[in-house]
Structure 1
Amino acid sequence: MSKPKSILLTLFFIILLGAVGGGGYLLLKDQQAPLITVTPGDGRLSKNSVLEIALADHASGLKNLTVLIRKNTTTSTIYQQDWMDRLPERKETINLSSVSLQEGAFELIVKASDGSFAAFGKGNTATREYSYRLDNTPPRVSVITMPPYVRRGGVGVVAYSVSEEVSSTGVQIGDTFFPGYKQSSGNHMCFFAFPYYMTVEEYNPRLVAKDLAGNAYDRPLAVYPLGRDFTADRINLSESFLSTKMPEFEQDFPGEMTHVERFLKVNRDMRVANRASLISIGLQTSPEMLWKGAFMRLPNAANRARFAEKRTYVYNGVEVDQQYHLGHDLASTRHAPVPAANNGKIVFADNMGIYGQVVIVDHGMGLQTLYAHLSEISVQPGQSVLQGDILGKTGLTGMAGGDHLHYGVTVSGIPVTPLEWFDPHWIQDNITGRLN
């Protein structure tokens, strides 16, 4: 062996021994390559997709990362990074918008090395490959049938076809999304509302779809909006009502406060929370229609309040709050049996704040009916019911001032007028007749 080589070899062993003596034993012992995880790990991507690369090596820390793309017979480096700080974990992102790549299949190759002395100081290296398909073409959507108009506070339905599998589709109205549901025919159907809180000028429904690669279809839905006026009422808050009802809500809003202060907490904060719950429950729905024909009204009941009635609450002659009443108040005899308005499945049967004891029946595709202020519940979640089956009895639980049924209809959790669903002619002209 030549003298220079002998000197170099001696220096290497001196450095090696120094590393061991200085606590580098773990760096020598580490034979485990870094862990690599890429999300998503496969499937379709679009030019706007972002790949998240998670790296971990707790023994020696991370030294470098190289990312390559192989398409057909060509391989190119799209990302390379060396690190001096040897962190045990790192997360990097690759935005495909910055990569020149044509549509079609390709492989992603990820290489990562740690900071150990393995491989003569190069470290342990891990290599993982992932297969993807780049798809930059939005789905094609064709409307099959839709309503000629939708009234404020009412409902429309659209049937349409989509050219490929989608991750989401439906009708977008402002900040509110109404999901579409795939039918056995392969087409999609979507019930959507003209929300009571929107004007004709604000109403702009859009049919949307997003494929598995993230490409989006987004077009206006050419439906004619019709205005509708709603009633208003002034409600005087009596001391008798407040002293009777507010103690029921002391656990929800504890602390020292007057009855009217607690009333405002319930009427505002709890109302908001309850409506958020209805949105969540609205997603617990069958993709198929479970109902048939006109919806049943509480028998022999007088109408006490209507949908979207604007209520002004007055205490000692002073206006203290305003809210909308989003259902029909129907008064019959005390503790009257409450029938299911149509066929469906129970998705909620419990207490819900301002509504008191509540039953919610799902009729499919986001269409649900709500039965509130019950004194008694006689069904369980998951139970199937037929039109006319008894769900419970009327009462005055929650914020009810007297024995009655608060009956509501929601579409994907958004309250709509029940009147349309009581009318067989409206259902035939606007829903079933068009779909058939």
Structure 2
Amino acid sequence: MKLGSTKLGKTVSLALAIGFLLVAGIFAYTIFAAKPPLLAGIEGFEKLPIKKVISFKAQSNRKIKSVEVVVTQDGNAVTLLSEHPDKPNAEFNVTVEPKVQGLNDGEAEVTIKARAGLFAKTVKTFPTAIRSAPPAMSVIDSSYITDQGSGLAILIDAKRSDKVYIKALEREFMATNSIYTDKNRFFVIIPIDIETQGTPVVTAFAEDAAGNTVSAPVQTIYKPKVYKKDVIVIKDDFIRKHILPFLQKTEGDMPLLDAFLEINEKRRKETEAKVTEVTKKSADKILWNGPFIQMKNSKVFAGFGDQRSYQYGGKEVSRSRHMGFDLASLANSPVYAANSGVVAFAGELGIYGNAVVIDHGLGLMSLYGHLSSIDVKEGAAVEKTTVIGKSGMTGFAAGDHLHYGVLLHGVYISPVHWWDKLWINKRVLDVMNNKG
């Protein structure tokens, strides 16, 4: 009996030991295999306006035991959330009202702690901006009257604002206060695209660091313009003489019509994408001085906004708009900077061939295309009448001339306005200086 009892006891002890080890292993696995929780959506705490509902998630491979959100400001800690979800995936909605919760306007620090198991923790700490009062904004003045291919100057007073901008034609245009000693004053000139249909809705917005936003309409009288329409017949000789050499092709490499469409559609589109990239950055101040100048002793061969219909073999095959002026004088005539500024680009520019782009500040730029030579470098400061190159027929050009364009925030506008001292004074400078 004693021998059997001893064997039974050993068997029970072994079973208990195995059971204990199994339980301990499971317990240890539960504790130590838990991964630190992943947090998603917590960037919502980086800005805290008057009132905000912030949704975020916490996820782990084990049950999340606790999640806590605390805002610390001047030694004062305010707990916005303290929960124990006890599940691996948890979602939270936190309503933040700084004034109600005892937080002051200014800077603070957010700390988010999440724990899974006993030891798997995630801690995120970052600054936040608290603003419990929205900006105060009013539109002081604007050009008021505008048209297709023109510009609209706007002066805004905005208090408690970190960002002031205009929304128009599905785009945003940033205003600047860098030209004023009164930092509540913001100014911007926005383009009115030549393709605009109907009266554009123009709205001013002021936004603070916490995301509080106010808006106000900019009253505008819009006068549509009628632009010239041309029908251009494309002949095989023209394609052989001007297009195939530009494409570095010979007859037989591709159908002649395909060669024309390659230039007028694909290459044109690629060129304008590059122009958009070049014109993204502009000086935050006015670099120009007085009216812009037209190329000396030049004759206009094509105007801004001309609508071109191209026919080949008796059928319309393509369309385009001419977004500048073609100005011609003698071959290899000197080309001058139309106004003072900084060279933003100097080099090969697709269908414009050798080209120069000058930044005149506040988003205003001038483009000089088809040059036979370039005499300036990117980053160089130029004055009005500085020689920047010579006219030519590089790129997609049938003869020696200058293609001259003006852009505002990357949108082509009519150069005519900027050749007019009265227009600049009345529609831009008087608004900027609040003389309306």
- Residue 154 of structure 1 aligns with which residue? 150
Output the CA distance in 1 between the equivalents of 2:401 and 2:112: 65
Report the CA distance shift for 1:435/1:266 in structure 2 as closer, same or farther (over 3 A): same
Output the CA distance in 2 between the equivalents of 1:25 and 1:79: 21
Q: CA deviation at 1:357?
A: 1.5
Q: CA deviation at 1:100?
A: 5.5
SS of match in other structure, 1:287: coil
Report the CA distance shift for 1:11/1:215 in structure 2 as closer, same or farther (over 3 A): farther
- Residue 409 of structure 2 aligns with which residue? 412
Equivalent in 44, 47, 52 of residue 44 of structure 1: 47
Output the CA distance in 2 between the equivalents of 1:292 and 1:274: 29
Look at both structures and tell me which one has the larger radius of gyration over its CA atoms: 2
SS of match in other structure, 2:187: strand
Deviations 1:417-436 (A, max 9, x none): 00011111111221223323
Equivalent in 172, 176, 180 of residue 175 of structure 2: 180
Matches within 5 A, 1:56-205: 63-64=63-64, 66-69=67-70, 75=79, 77=81, 81-83=85-87, 99=95, 101-103=97-99, 104-105=103-104, 108-114=110-116, 122-130=118-126, 132-135=128-131, 137-166=133-162, 168-185=163-180, 186=183, 187-199=185-197, 201-205=198-202
Question: Which stretch shifts more, 37-46 or 358-367?
Answer: 37-46
Equivalent in 390, 395, 410 of residue 393 of structure 1: 390
Q: Say if 1:345 and 1:383, in contact at 8 Å, map to a contact too.
A: yes
Q: Say if 1:205 and 1:221, in contact at 8 Å, map to a contact too.
A: yes
Q: CA deviation at 1:183?
A: 1.8
Q: Say if 2:176 and 2:284, in contact at 8 Å, map to a contact too.
A: yes
Q: Say if 2:139 and 2:204, in contact at 8 Å, map to a contact too.
A: no
Report the CA distance shift for 1:215/1:256 in structure 2 as closer, same or farther (over 3 A): farther
Deviations 1:92-113 (A, max 9, x none): 88665xx263444576442223
SS of match in other structure, 2:399: coil
Output the CA distance in 2 between the equivalents of 1:127 and 1:310: 61
Q: CA deviation at 1:36?
A: 6.8
- The one-letter code of the counterpart of 1:434 is V
Report the CA distance shift for 1:390/1:129 in structure 2 as closer, same or farther (over 3 A): closer
- Residue 280 of structure 2 aligns with which residue? 283
Q: Say if 1:310 and 1:325, in contact at 8 Å, map to a contact too.
A: yes
Report the CA distance shift for 1:178/1:68 in structure 2 as closer, same or farther (over 3 A): closer
Report the CA distance shift for 1:364/1:209 in structure 2 as closer, same or farther (over 3 A): same
- The one-letter code of the counterpart of 2:311 is V
Q: CA deviation at 1:216?
A: 2.4
Aligned residues: 404
Q: Say if 1:62 and 1:113, in contact at 8 Å, map to a contact too.
A: no
Q: Which runs of no fewer than 5 residues in structure 1 stay unpaired?
A: 1-5, 86-91, 116-121
- The one-letter code of the counterpart of 1:160 is I
Output the CA distance in 2 between the equivalents of 1:141 and 1:344: 32
Deviations 1:25-62 (A, max 9, x none): 9948x9x966879854975323457576788x9xxx56
Q: CA deviation at 1:160?
A: 1.5
Report the CA distance shift for 1:262/1:139 in structure 2 as closer, same or farther (over 3 A): farther
Report the CA distance shift for 1:334/1:73 in structure 2 as closer, same or farther (over 3 A): closer
Q: CA RMSD in A?
A: 3.6
Q: Say if 1:344 and 1:384, in contact at 8 Å, map to a contact too.
A: yes
SS of match in other structure, 1:145: strand
Report the CA distance shift for 1:130/1:93 in structure 2 as closer, same or farther (over 3 A): farther
Q: Say if 1:49 and 1:214, in contact at 8 Å, map to a contact too.
A: no
Output the CA distance in 1 between the equivalents of 2:391 and 2:119: 74
- The one-letter code of the counterpart of 2:359 is D
- The one-letter code of the counterpart of 1:14 is L
TM-score normalised to structure 1 length: 0.80
Q: Say if 1:327 and 1:407, in contact at 8 Å, map to a contact too.
A: yes
Equivalent in 220, 223, 227 of residue 220 of structure 2: 223
SS of match in other structure, 1:193: strand
- Residue 337 of structure 1 aligns with which residue? 334
- Residue 14 of structure 1 aligns with which residue? 21
Output the CA distance in 1 between the equivalents of 2:173 and 2:247: 36
Q: CA deviation at 1:143?
A: 2.2
Report the CA distance shift for 1:17/1:50 in structure 2 as closer, same or farther (over 3 A): closer
Equivalent in 290, 307, 317 of residue 293 of structure 1: 290
Report the CA distance shift for 1:94/1:216 in structure 2 as closer, same or farther (over 3 A): farther
Q: Say if 1:38 and 1:54, in contact at 8 Å, map to a contact too.
A: no
Output the CA distance in 1 between the equivalents of 2:80 and 2:202: 44
Q: CA deviation at 1:326?
A: 0.7
- 1:355 equivalent to 2:365? Answer no
- Residue 378 of structure 1 aligns with which residue? 375
- The one-letter code of the counterpart of 1:149 is I
Q: Say if 2:70 and 2:77, in contact at 8 Å, map to a contact too.
A: no
Q: CA deviation at 1:389?
A: 0.6
TM-score normalised to structure 2 length: 0.80
Report the CA distance shift for 1:305/1:78 in structure 2 as closer, same or farther (over 3 A): farther
Report the CA distance shift for 1:53/1:378 in structure 2 as closer, same or farther (over 3 A): farther
Output the CA distance in 1 between the equivalents of 2:241 and 2:87: 69
Q: CA deviation at 1:406?
A: 0.7
Q: CA deviation at 1:149?
A: 1.0
SS of match in other structure, 2:242: helix
Report the CA distance shift for 1:73/1:423 in structure 2 as closer, same or farther (over 3 A): closer
Matches within 5 A, 1:17-28: 18=25, 27=32
- Residue 88 of structure 1 aligns with which residue? none
Report the CA distance shift for 1:181/1:282 in structure 2 as closer, same or farther (over 3 A): farther
Deviations 1:272-310 (A, max 9, x none): 333333333322100100001010110000000111110
Report the CA distance shift for 1:399/1:62 in structure 2 as closer, same or farther (over 3 A): farther
- Residue 10 of structure 2 aligns with which residue? none
SS of match in other structure, 1:233: strand
Question: Which stretch shifts more, 304-313 or 242-251?
Answer: 242-251
SS of match in other structure, 1:284: coil
Q: Say if 2:161 and 2:206, in contact at 8 Å, map to a contact too.
A: no
